[in-house]
């Protein structure tokens, strides 16, 4: 259980920061966040609808380090994330919660 808590807390902090950042700037979008796990990492999936366009950002602590990762995908299911999307994931130092949240917000607001 200690590992789950360690892996989950950074993503919770990012989720709160994303919520604060989005309050004023996302009125034209449907955005949600849900807990997410893929069997190795635990975190949150942020999803956005803009018209008929969909995007997900998966945020978790990397299983091999303390870095945060953010993977942007056009799919709502982790199993459909493409190799290119996975290779393009962003890494943030373990204490760069705000930087990660700002990346998530920019990705959510991107048209």
Domain spans, the chain: 2-109
Residue 38 burial class via C-beta count within 10 angstroms: exposed 0-12, middle 13-18, buried 19 and up = middle
Give me the pLDDT at residue 36, please.
84
Per-residue pLDDT of the chain (111 residues; tens, 9 = 90+): 333 344 456 677 777 777 777 665 556 667 788 888 887 788 889 888 777 778 899 998 887 888 899 999 998 888 899 999 999 999 999 888 889 888 988 888 876
Give me the pLDDT at residue 6, please.
44
Q: Name the pTM for this structure.
A: 0.78
């Amino acid at each position: 259980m200690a590992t789950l808590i360690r892996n989950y807390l950074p993503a919770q902090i990012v989720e709160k920061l994303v919520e604060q950042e989005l309050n004023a700037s996302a009125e034209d979008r449907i955005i949600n966040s849900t807990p997410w796990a893929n069997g190795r990492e635990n975190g949150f999936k942020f999803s956005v609808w803009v018209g008929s366009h969909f995007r997900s950002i998966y945020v978790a602590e990397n299983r091999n380090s303390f870095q945060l990762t953010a993977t942007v995908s056009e799919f709502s299911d982790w199993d459909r994330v493409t190799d290119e999307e996975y290779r393009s994931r962003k890494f943030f130092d373990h204490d760069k919660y705000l930087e990660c949240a700002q990346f998530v917000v920019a990705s959510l607001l991107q048209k």
